[in-house]
Amino acid sequence: MRILIVEDSEDRLNWFRYQAIGIVTDIAKTAAEGLEFLKQNEYTQVFLDHDLADHHYVAVFEGLESDIYDEETGFAVAKFLADNSDKSKDAEIIVHSLNEYASERMMNELIKAGRKPTRIPFTALRTAYGHMGRKEKSVWDY
């Protein structure tokens, strides 16, 4: 099992790291890093955040469409997976972004390409599996 986590928040990454103890995990804090990992490795699970820099959040709060930064966001990673069906072809893809508009765009791009992503906002992951604590199941058993 090998997982890729595309996420910029250290708090969220700490939670993921705890859940992934003993599992080969690659962490990408930028879309560019995520793309490099996907080009080099095969994954069983890919966790995608959308907003990977402060100005992505500002764009959302100012009412700007978040697609103006596509190449810098998790959307670039989702698009790569959609356009390259041979890469991590059997991976479970979980979009965990709290940005609903962007999550929907990522999901639609992946679905159009025949992928079967799941959307679980990060807050729901934390609720389902505890705040930095394990329950009987871990996020990897989901």
What residue numbers bound the domain in which 106 lies? 2-141
DSSP the chain: -EEEEE---HHHHHHHHHHTTTSEEEEESSHHHHHHHHHH---SEEEE-S--SHHHHHHHHTT--GGGGGGGSHHHHHHHHHH-TTTTTT-EEEE--S-HHHHHHHHHHHHHTT---EE--HHHHHHHH-SSS--SS-GGG-
Residue-level pLDDT, tens digit, the chain, 142 residues: 999 999 998 999 998 998 888 889 999 999 999 999 999 999 999 999 988 866 544 445 455 555 555 778 899 999 999 999 999 999 999 999 888 888 898 999 999 999 999 999 988 886 755 543 444 444 444 4
**Residue 101's pLDDT is what?**
81
**CATH of residue 76:** 3.40.50.2300
Into how many domains does the chain fold?
Answer: 1
**Residue 128's pLDDT is what?**
59
